[in-house]
């Protein structure tokens, strides 16, 4: 896995989100929705690390999602700052 992550960074990806083990599809969808809502919030955008940490905390508090299997396998690798959206 180290080689694949590094290949994305070398190819120009600012940040790569990867998992450490096979993930639950529905819980991952919920987590990524929470992550992108925080990351792309126009009023108070968070850094990529903060957005993932907050998304994990929120998911962990949901019924049936407390076990780390649902929220813990993800790593944010690379740039940490807020996403810079292209200007219109």
Mean pLDDT across the chain: 90
Give a yes or no: residue 53 inside a domain: yes
Find the DSSP H helices in the chain: 2-10, 25-39, 48-60, 68-71
More confident residue, 57 or 84: 57
| Domain membership flag for residue 49 | yes
- Domain count across the chain: 1
pTM for this predicted structure: 0.85
For the stretch 27-54, pLDDT in tens is 999 999 999 999 999 888 899 999 999 9
Domain-embedded: residue 88 = no
What domain range includes position 26? 2-78
Instruction: Tell me how far apart the alpha carbons of residues 88 and 31 are, in angstroms, rounded to a whole number.
Output: 28
**Domain contains 27:** yes
Domain contains 83: no
């Amino acid at each position: 896995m180290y080689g694949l992550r590094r290949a994305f960074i070398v190819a120009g990806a600012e940040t790569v989100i990867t998992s450490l083990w096979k993930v639950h599809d529905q819980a991952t969808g919920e987590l990524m929705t929470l992550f992108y809502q925080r990351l792309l919030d126009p009023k108070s955008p968070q850094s990529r690390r903060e957005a993932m940490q907050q998304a994990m905390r929120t998911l962990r508090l949901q019924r049936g999602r407390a076990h780390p299997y649902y929220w813990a396998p993800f790593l944010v690798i690379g740039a940490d700052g807020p996403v810079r959206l292209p200007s219109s």
